[in-house]
Structure 1
Amino acid sequence: MELQEKISVPIFTAVEREVFLQDVYPLRRPAVLRGVDLGPCVERWTVEYLGNKGGNRDVKIHVSTEAQMDFLHKNFVYKTLPFNEFVKRASEMNHTDFFLSEDESYYLRSLGEDIRKEPAELNKQFPALADDFHIPPFFEPEQFFSSVFRISSCGLQLWTHYDVMDNLLAQVTGRKRVVLYSPQDALHLYLSGDKSEVLDIDGPDLKRFPEFVKARRYECVLEPGDLLFIPALWFHNTLALQFGVGVNVFWRHLPADSYDKKDPYGNKDPVAAARALQTLERALHCLDELPAEYRDFYGRRMIQRIQKQTHCDEQNTILPSSPLTKPA
């Protein structure tokens, strides 16, 4: 979008663990990591190979006639297909067999065995493919949370959202554009939960979303074999420029008890944050007992108090305590 400030995501080449921990991770900003060894998956994961190795196990997928998938308004349907048939269809632009239309789009986000309790893990859901993918050793093994297998049709765009854990997006095959927004720009993104209501980030309705132009747009194009470091709370929106296969690796960078133990997706707000938001809702209900001018006055005082207590400059972001980080 031309009216937004546009910032290119920096690219680091041949990044090893120490370089990541010392030069990339402490900045708490997105970074493309190029030349990291992801294993033989980059060469092997063709449509034919995936179909043969993945077999005919059923997978639950998203199917949409719209290129811009909208989770808030659900402009897609959930369907089930054998994995090898899904891969075949997702790699095609037009389909002989289809659910909704000849040019429908497909998207797979792998799930745990018990989707209500278990996070996705590549070596459990797709063991025949897992050995091909090497998880970069950029965090401690006990911090690992999930490895999410993703496959999408060419042209498919996923809604803007944030996650509460740090993650690495490995673009194994195909090219993908990723647009990111800083947590500091949250007020310009018209949030509904963890998702932005602005679906079309390239041509937004500025009558509905006039503040969106103030959000700074960080952008990159991932090539096959690239990694993208996405720090927790950074909003991201992806557009598949080609049929593509990727793996998201999430890890707990906060103490384990900071996270909701009943969250298999890793996108529920940390326990303390959820409590604070609930307390805020109760406080707002208390203000409902007052006349409008009093609600306005005390609401402004609350806003001032919250800003004073919590404001953090992006340039002075402080990392949480973690075995990954050392004081400067």
Structure 2
Amino acid sequence: MNEDTSQLRPEWRQWLAENLALGVTEEDVQKVLVSSGVDPAVARAEVAAVGAHPYFRACRQVARHFGWMESLMDAYSALRAQDGGRELEVRHGVSPEEFFQRYYFGHRPVVLRGMMADWPALQRWSLTYFRERLGSVEVEVMVGRDADPEHAAFQDRHRSRMPFSDFLTLLETGTRTNDYYMVPRNENWREGGLSPLREDLRAPAGIIEPDLRQDMLTLLLGPAGTITPLHHDNMNILLGQVMGRKHVRLVPSFERHRVYPHRGTFSHVNADAPDLTLHPLYAEATVLEAVLEPGDMVFLPVGWWHWVKALDVSASVTFHHFRVPGGNTHLEPPA
């Protein structure tokens, strides 16, 4: 389409080409244009011009490849549904061999119980313990999250430093909020920071590398009400719940097209209260869920979408250095 002769703004031309390439009918896109104030004759002419443009024909070919991939993933999802894929397994006494064979390499999530029985943290960790041992340490916390719907994607906007004791005072108020949270993307585990807390943890034998260096694990600490929006990580994660409870929801990696991806690793869907008018395909998503109690671990396979909500003041630890060559399996973002 010649940009000089088009009567639509560039963003409308992009919207038009994208929706036609993805299979929306010409009649439906014309209705949207007209309802937005575009003259019906102009709408018809623009749709015809898009269809004749060689760039659009290339775009449609790419969309067909994308459509075949979605069709394959739908078939795979249907097969996995017949193989226990609609339930989040909860297991006791899983050996390292079974963990890797069935879950890590099988790309299946699982809740593991009993693997944290030897953790001193389960008996020691409390807000009082944190204050008495490390209250004077300066920590980094994400604040002002409630005012920014994109807080998870733009964490640098929300970084704030404060004495650990000040953050603990916030947690002691008992306020249910998503406004402040200590998330993994910080250096709180660094030497001289909260690194002494690593002494209270143990690596699950045969699954996680035993030395627990500060670059091998992270800490999450926050009040009841903190929410991690639906997203996926680009590597496998093993999360251990130490204090409080967390509600988790998971959607398989192979159902990506049903969660309306946003900024690559985030979803447009509010998994706490999905709007199926805006996101109808989410009704077809396989949603697995569980409430994690202190002492529970959950394995989150690479690429699996997960939403997490703290039901109490909560402390969790995540591991990402498994006993496999290279330490993990990584999903490389497309160029």
TM-score for the superposition, normalised by structure 2: 0.64
Displacement of 1:87: 2.1
Q: After the TM superposition, which of the residue ranges 60-69 and 17-26 deviates more from structure 2?
A: 60-69
1:194 match? 265
Displacement of 1:143: 11
1:231 match? 301
Q: Does 1:15 align with 2:120?
A: no
Distance 1:238 1:91, change over 3 A: farther
User: What CA distance in whole angstroms lies between the structure 2 residues aligned with 1:15 and 1:104?
Assistant: 34
Q: Does 1:58 align with 2:138?
A: yes
1:176 match? 246
1:82-231 pair list within 5 angstroms? 82-94=163-175, 105-111=179-185, 113=187, 121=189, 125-137=193-205, 138-140=207-209, 146-192=216-262, 193-198=264-269, 200-231=270-301
Displacement of 1:54: 2.3
> Conserved in 1, the CA contact under 8 Å of 2:243 and 2:294?
yes
Aligned residue pair count = 247
User: What CA distance in whole angstroms lies between the structure 1 residues aligned with 2:137 and 2:231?
Assistant: 29
TM-score for the superposition, normalised by structure 1: 0.65
> Conserved in 2, the CA contact under 8 Å of 1:51 and 1:85?
no
Distance 1:16 1:142, change over 3 A: same
Displacement of 1:89: 1.0
> Conserved in 1, the CA contact under 8 Å of 2:245 and 2:292?
yes
User: What CA distance in whole angstroms lies between the structure 2 residues aligned with 1:202 and 1:176?
Assistant: 13
Displacement of 1:13: 1.1
Higher strand residue share:
1
> Conserved in 1, the CA contact under 8 Å of 2:140 and 2:186?
no
Displacement of 1:172: 0.4
Displacement of 1:237: 0.7
Distance 1:7 1:124, change over 3 A: farther
Q: Which amino acid aligns with 1:220?
A: A
User: What CA distance in whole angstroms lies between the structure 1 residues aligned with 2:318 and 2:138?
Assistant: 21
Q: Which amino acid aligns with 2:88?
A: V
Displacement of 1:58: 1.7
User: Secondary structure of 2:204's partner?
Assistant: coil
Q: Which amino acid aligns with 1:226?
A: D
Displacement of 1:72: 5.9
User: What CA distance in whole angstroms lies between the structure 1 residues aligned with 2:278 and 2:194?
Assistant: 43
1:304 match? none
Higher helix residue share:
2
Displacement of 1:123: 6.8
Q: Does 1:28 align with 2:107?
A: yes
Distance 1:86 1:211, change over 3 A: same
* Identical residues among aligned pairs (%): 28
RMSD: 3.4
Q: Kindly indicate whether structure 1 or structure 2 has the higher relative contact order, using CA contacts under 8 Å at least 6 residues apart.
A: 1
Q: Which amino acid aligns with 2:277?
A: K
Q: Which amino acid aligns with 1:44?
A: R
Displacement of 1:164: 1.7
- Choose 1 or 2 for highest CA Rg: 2
> Conserved in 1, the CA contact under 8 Å of 2:203 and 2:209?
no
User: What CA distance in whole angstroms lies between the structure 2 residues aligned with 1:41 and 1:32?
Assistant: 19
User: Secondary structure of 2:143's partner?
Assistant: strand
Distance 1:85 1:225, change over 3 A: same
Distance 1:211 1:253, change over 3 A: farther
User: What CA distance in whole angstroms lies between the structure 2 residues aligned with 1:11 and 1:77?
Assistant: 35
Q: After the TM superposition, which of the residue ranges 61-70 and 85-94 deviates more from structure 2?
A: 61-70
> Conserved in 1, the CA contact under 8 Å of 2:208 and 2:322?
no
User: What CA distance in whole angstroms lies between the structure 2 residues aligned with 1:143 and 1:56?
Assistant: 24
User: Secondary structure of 1:131's partner?
Assistant: helix
